[in-house]
Amino acid sequence: MSSALELKLGTRWKKPPFITDAKLRWALLIGSVIYLILAFASLEINWARVYEGLERGWRFIMAFSQPDFTSRANDIREGMIESVIMTVTSTIVGIAISIPVALGAARNIAPMPIYLVCRFVISISRALNEIIVAILFVAIFGFGPLAGFLTLSFATIGFLAKLLAEDIEDMNKSQAEAIRATGASWMQWINYGVQPQVMPRLIGLSIYRLDINFRESAVLGLVGAGGIGATLNTAFDRYEFGTVAAILIIIIVVVMALEYISGLIRARIK
């Protein structure tokens, strides 16, 4: 029996704590408890109102058992077509702009000044919520799908260019170098050395973004930027839960279909 063992026998054993500094651990714990108490205290829930609303909530849930596709069929159809159109166009334009921005935002390809500009564009696009951008575009360009289209294109750039740029930065250097060594021009180098490496990811991300754009297009209508959101908003205002349920079901089904398709395509690329 070793002396180290003799010391340990009979002593209690505790799992070493995740945060080793005891002071910090307690400070964090007490801080979170205080925060939670304050946060809950400031909630101001009107339980009487909530109780009243439960009946309406139940009606909403029941509406899903008999969604009403017919009474506002025209509005729903128009809204959906507009949403789809905005989704498709903004995704195409977004991709087309993201690719050069992504090239510019990849540190291993772009010179410093271009890198900074492109990174700036990306951060602005990511920091601003779609709805806020839509409000501004509606104020500037007027109501309608154009504002929605611009909003989604702008949001697509931030999303796609960031992820694509990261992918380019992670790519295999030796493959790209081999192409450069053949004496290829810059464009040829991108085309043969870089593009094949990032293409599968670009396609995967584009389909994913198509899915996101569709979901977002469903709310832009709330601020007047076109799409199914306006119809949805009206239905809510009139408490027409049957129509609401119908629209939500369509959205969910379309999203599921898109996810299924993107799964198939991604599997084929790999």
Interface residues toward other proteins, by CB under 8 A: 1-2, 4-5, 8-10, 12-16, 35-36, 39-40, 42-46, 49-50, 53-54, 56-57, 60, 81-82, 85-86, 88-89, 92, 127-129, 131-132, 135, 139-142, 144-146, 149, 215-216, 218-219, 222-223, 226, 229, 232-233, 236, 239, 244, 248, 251-252, 255-256, 259
Could you tell me the two tokens for 193?
């050395």
Min. distance of Cβ 159 from other proteins in angstroms? 12
Q: Given the complex with other proteins, which of 114 and 136 has the nearer CB atom?
A: 136
Min. distance of Cβ 259 from other proteins in angstroms? 8
Q: Given the complex with other proteins, which of 114 and 222 has the nearer CB atom?
A: 222
Q: Given the complex with other proteins, which of 199 and 256 has the nearer CB atom?
A: 256
Min. distance of Cβ 16 from other proteins in angstroms? 5
Q: Given the complex with other proteins, which of 116 and 173 has the nearer CB atom?
A: 116
Nearest to 168 by CA among 119, 94, 105, 98: 105
Q: Where are the alpha helices (DSSP H) in 9-72?
A: 22-41, 47-63
Determine the Cα–Cα distance for residues 148 and 243; give it in Å rounded to an integer: 23
Min. distance of Cβ 134 from other proteins in angstroms? 10
Contact in structure between 222 and 233 (CB atoms under 8 Å): yes
Nearest to 106 by CA among 157, 159, 169: 169
Determine the Cα–Cα distance for residues 125 and 115; give it in Å rounded to an integer: 16
Min. distance of Cβ 71 from other proteins in angstroms? 19
Phi and psi at residue 26, to the nearest 5°: -65, -40
CA atoms within 13 A on the CB side of 124: 9
Determine the Cα–Cα distance for residues 174 and 180; give it in Å rounded to an integer: 10
Min. distance of Cβ 65 from other proteins in angstroms? 14
Q: Given the complex with other proteins, which of 104 and 229 has the nearer CB atom?
A: 229
Q: Given the complex with other proteins, which of 198 and 258 has the nearer CB atom?
A: 258
Determine the Cα–Cα distance for residues 227 and 82; give it in Å rounded to an integer: 5
